[in-house]
Amino acid sequence: MSMLTPPGMGGKYRITGDVYPRMRRPHRRRRIVLASAAAVVVLGAAGWGTLQLVDVFSGDGTKTTAGKQADCKPAPKATTAPAAALPKPAQITVNVYNATPRSGLAKTTADELKKRGFKIGKVGNAPTAYDKKVPGAGLLLGAPAATKGAFSVLGTQLAGATTKTDTRATADVDLIIGTAFKSLSPKATADAALVALTKPAPTVKPCR
């Protein structure tokens, strides 16, 4: 035992200082306590992080999926708005006029339209106002009322035909054959277009 160690202290205290002796306990116990506390904190943080990962990959994912499925409700049964009442081909009187230099087009076209159910009126050369002045496949000419149905039905027979109204009071429609005319649309194509016109396909919005 050093002569500087006070009697009865058993060496538990050590003398420090240059002028007056100061007594200090060893730091070993405090270090052990701090290390234990730090270990508890680390283990607790690790356990909490593990629980969060489990929630993300199991519980939370299920809740999110369930939420999306709840938001995506089954769409109601598709309903189609009733199509506007369109005249049948037999209810449409078509006057066929040839505005091209090629002879015989008016008669052959009128004969084909008759086979397809249309009622044929006048057949011949186009009036002077339209003779050789229709650059497209054809022109459908009729009263303003024809825009509500007759033009649409007759238009299924000739792709690319344009329409125009005049001041006539009758329900007949003129088909003026233009210089780009080759033939009427194939019957199968025209029939399919007519069916699509009278029975439009229903549309259902996708569930997002």
**CA–CA separation, 133 and 179 (whole Å):** 8
Token pair recorded at residue 179 = 């210089």
- Over its C-alpha atoms, the chain yields an Rg (Å, rounded) of 48
Continuous segment of H or E residues that includes residue 168: none
pLDDT digits (tens, 9 = 90+) for 71-118: 555 555 544 445 568 999 999 999 999 999 999 999 999 999 999 999
Provide the pLDDT for residue 199: 77
Distance, C-alpha 73 to centroid of its chain? 17
Tell me whether residue 87 is exposed, middle or buried, using C-beta atoms within 10 angstroms of its C-beta: 0 to 12, 13 to 18, 19 or more.
middle
Provide the pLDDT for residue 75: 52
- Round to the nearest angstrom and report the end-to-end CA distance of the chain: 86
Cα distances (Å, whole numbers) of residue 188 to 22, 92, 120, 136: 114, 20, 21, 22
**For the residues of 51-111, what is the DSSP string, one character each?**
HHHHIIIIIHHHHHHHHHHHHSPPPPPP--PPPP-PPPGGG-EEEEEE-SSSTTHHHHHHH
Provide the pLDDT for residue 81: 47
**CA–CA separation, 89 and 69 (whole Å):** 49
Q: What is the pLDDT along the chain (208 residues), one digit of tens a residue?
A: 455 555 555 555 555 555 555 555 555 666 665 666 666 555 555 555 555 654 555 554 444 554 555 455 555 554 444 556 899 999 999 999 999 999 999 999 999 999 999 999 999 999 999 999 999 999 999 999 999 999 999 999 999 999 999 999 999 999 999 999 999 999 999 999 999 987 755 655 555 5
Cα distances (Å, whole numbers) of residue 28 to 39, 40, 132: 17, 19, 114
**pTM score over 0.75:** no
Q: Which residues in the chain belong to E strands, given as ranges?
A: 14-16, 22-24, 93-98, 119-125, 138-142, 162-165, 173-177
Token pair recorded at residue 80 = 């189609």
